[in-house]
Structure 1
Amino acid sequence: MTLLIVILAVVFLILTIMVISKTQTLLKGVKDKSESEVEDTITDGANNMNAIGLFVFWILSVIGVVWSFEYAKKDFLISFGDLPTASSVHGKETDYWFWFGMAVITVAFLVVNSVLFYFPLKYRYKKDRKAYFYPHNNTLEIVWTLIPALVMAGLVFTGLKVWNSVMSDAPKDAEVIEIMGKQFGWQVRYGGVDNEKLGNYSYKLINDAEGNEFGIDFTDENSFDDFTSNTEMHIPKGKPVLLKIRARDVLHSVFIPHMRVKMDAVPGMPTKFWFVADKSTADMRAELGNPDFKYEIACTEVCGRSHFAMKLTLIVDEPAEYEKWKKEQKSLLASKPEFMEKVPANLQGKAMKYIMPAAPASTDSTTAATGGAATSASLR
């Protein structure tokens, strides 16, 4: 690749010197000769050389572009973790229309530039050629305006259709997860097992020292079973997932490349994105033959000195595994019982069940009696 660049640079330099030399010759001719004599110095041979040189340059350029694409194709895949296809339902549609658009643009580029480089060869100067002036043609104007307009409108509206589908309201059965960006990490909050609805929050309640990084409002009973994570995010395979996105300090951007998910996290302006993952982490590991593969959530908005390290592991579980994992998580109230002080007195009874889960019922009266005696003894 480096050798090709060097060769092209040398060719460009030689052509530049030739153009400068030819220009100086023409300028000298203008000074020393009459207009008719200057015209005679422009030989058909020189024009042939320029026209053929331009067309050869175009052919070599096309060959170079095709070769460089084929040469670098493997790196395109590596940049996406050796992933040939998207791991979400909408991602496959996004990829299809992306490559469809690239194909249309590439064809248009090749046709237009081929004509552009062919015309200097076809209509190069010849001493006996007469110019044909063709000032206007309404039909041609309509054709070359209407066709590109229709093609571009088609591309825009197909893209808009996909965009509207992912930005529409999520299905009612969607798993609602909140992800919050802050310098320099991601925080994730779930609605808990008993209550899928996330509790309220307020930026005024954010207190890192106390452990309330989300600013969760514990006067809202929906927050009692919320649990959080700052090391990984779990989502179920095959079920709609609605990400409620926000930022705590500066502009961030949630980017899940394998899912084709990208949405800015803006301070003071919550955003959202919903999608359906159709490949679990185990599926991807089997597909790629890589037992260490992990989905990743990254930040794609430069947010400060440690922006590069703002990453979070995403784990896509089978539905049963996901539900099992959720049941194993402790609510924030259970992890930090001191937050009970923030719960209104009339709601503390409801909140207590997330701190002190009910003991399993005993089926053996003797065991129950023994356990009760032991408990009494321990209390004494």
Structure 2
Amino acid sequence: MLALFYILIAVAIGVSFWQITRIMNLRGDIATDKDNDTQGKLAILFTVGFYAAMVYCLIAMNVLMLPESASIEGEHDDNLFDITFWLIGIVQFIMQFLIFYFTFKYRGKKENKALFFADSHKLEIIWTTIPAIVIVVLIGYGLWQWNNMMDLSDDDSIVIEVYAKQFQWEARYAGADNTLGLGNVNFIKGINTIGVDMSDKNSQDDIYATELYLPKGKKVHFKFRSQDVLHSAYMPHFRAQMNCVPGMVTEFGFTPKFTTEEMRLNEEVIAKNEVINKIRKAKGEDPYVFDYLLLCNKICGASHYNMQMKITVVEEAEYKAWLAEQPTLAEVIK
């Protein structure tokens, strides 16, 4: 099916070049009523094909979309996406129809005479005011959601630092005091790969990790640092992304609402896995099992694609048991 799609694109490009060539070769020739009639009918034919392709993409390719948000805060991102998608979709559906239908209806005829008027203040007010109101509402909702993700006032939240470097992620959990010790690239030495100031008393109970474990239903406060270049911490299923900037700390927070096991049972995830595993089977590769991932969404170098960290969401009791098993930095860096 994908090959057919590429073929149709190639045919459309070829027809476009052919039409452009014809137009350039007219050299002052006047189009006849027959030419205009043919072009009008072709516009209707193109409209039918255009809408068929659009419906196909909406239905058949829906499996490529992400499942519902795995964080409570991310639900508003999904709402904003849905609102924007339906607004644009409806307007596009109507406007495309009008463009091609009017191309057919008002195709050139010798006996027809075009009606001309300079302007319409009423129309200009309508098509200026309505988009302006819609944009203000969407931007307002987006700013509210941004503030929602950046609300880190919950003192009971779990504090985790994510450290980015070419081409790897590392993490550090705040210990019992829920406060991270000072971190700086100047402290990088030996096994202290993320530059933690071990003379800071808050660093002693911090916990180093190469995989993120998060508790369901608990707010997580992420802090980001970068060792070298600009990276971007992207957690698509949680609808969260933040640049990791050398020399400064950036942050956001969210609350996971589905454990990894629960998300694996999600109908959308199952359907997507079936498509992925069908391709992997044809290549002789092992089947894919869903996991949350932390990705880098900036092209940060030749091995940028290697920057992945597994995220496991579990129930809070299991998270506490896992955390209790992890050695502190004071035990590791002596």
What range is the shorter-chain TM-score in? Answer: 0.7 to 0.9
- Report the Cα distance in structure 2 between the residues aligned to 1:249 and 1:263, rounded to whole angstroms: 16
Return the letter of the residue paired with 1:59: V
Q: Counterpart in 1 of 2:283?
A: none
Q: Counterpart in 1 of 2:299?
A: 302
Equivalent of residue 277 in structure 1, options 250, 256, 260: 256
Gaps of 5+ in 2: 274-287
Instruction: Return closer, same or farther for 1:12/1:206 CA change in 2, 3 Å cut-off.
Output: closer
- Report the Cα distance in structure 1 between the residues aligned to 2:69 and 2:87, rounded to whole angstroms: 21
Equivalent of residue 265 in structure 1, options 244, 249, 255: 244
Number of paired residues? 315
Equivalent of residue 95 in structure 1, options 72, 78, 81: 78
Return the letter of the residue paired with 2:76: E
Return the letter of the residue paired with 1:336: I
Gaps of 5+ in 1: 30-37, 338-380
Check whether the contact 1:174–1:239 (CA below 8 A) recurs between aligned residues: yes
- Report the Cα distance in structure 1 between the residues aligned to 2:16 and 2:327, rounded to whole angstroms: 72
Instruction: Return closer, same or farther for 1:69/1:117 CA change in 2, 3 Å cut-off.
Output: same
Q: Counterpart in 2 of 1:201?
A: 183
1:222 has 2:202 as partner: yes
Return the letter of the residue paired with 2:35: A
Q: Alpha carbon RMSD of aligned pairs, Å?
A: 2.3
Q: Counterpart in 1 of 2:319?
A: 322
Superposed, 1:82-231 pairs within 5 Å as 84-193=67-176, 195-207=177-189, 209=190, 211-230=191-210
1:293 has 2:290 as partner: yes
Check whether the contact 1:170–1:274 (CA below 8 A) recurs between aligned residues: no
- Report the Cα distance in structure 2 between the residues aligned to 1:241 and 1:10, rounded to whole angstroms: 51
Task: Render the CA deviation track for 1:100-135: whole Å, top value 9, x for unaligned.
Answer: 201111111122222222222222222222332211
Return the letter of the residue paired with 1:267: P
Instruction: Return closer, same or farther for 1:10/1:157 CA change in 2, 3 Å cut-off.
Output: same
Residue 12 of structure 1 deviates from its aligned partner by 5.4
1:248 has 2:227 as partner: yes
Equivalent of residue 216 in structure 2, options 228, 237, 248: 237
Check whether the contact 2:162–2:170 (CA below 8 A) recurs between aligned residues: yes
Return the letter of the residue paired with 1:282: E
Normalized against structure 2, the TM-score is what? 0.86
Larger RCO: 1 or 2 (CA < 8 Å, sep 6+): 2
- Report the Cα distance in structure 1 between the residues aligned to 2:88 and 2:24, rounded to whole angstroms: 36
Task: Render the CA deviation track for 1:150-182: whole Å, top value 9, x for unaligned.
Answer: 112222211221112102334121111111011
- Report the Cα distance in structure 2 between the residues aligned to 1:153 and 1:162, rounded to whole angstroms: 14
- Of the two, which has the highest radius of gyration? 1
Equivalent of residue 62 in structure 1, options 27, 51, 66: 51
Instruction: Return closer, same or farther for 1:100/1:227 CA change in 2, 3 Å cut-off.
Output: same
Residue 71 of structure 1 deviates from its aligned partner by 2.5
- Report the Cα distance in structure 2 between the residues aligned to 1:21 and 1:214, rounded to whole angstroms: 64
Identical pairs, percent: 34
Return the letter of the residue paired with 2:54: V
Residue 243 of structure 1 deviates from its aligned partner by 0.3
Return the letter of the residue paired with 2:138: L
Q: Counterpart in 2 of 1:6?
A: 7
SS of the residue 2:73 aligns to: helix
Task: Render the CA deviation track for 1:246-268: whole Å, top value 9, x for unaligned.
Answer: 10111111111211111111101
Residue 278 of structure 1 deviates from its aligned partner by 0.6
Return the letter of the residue paired with 1:150: I
Q: Counterpart in 2 of 1:364?
A: none
Check whether the contact 2:213–2:311 (CA below 8 A) recurs between aligned residues: yes
Check whether the contact 2:173–2:206 (CA below 8 A) recurs between aligned residues: yes
SS of the residue 1:245 aligns to: strand
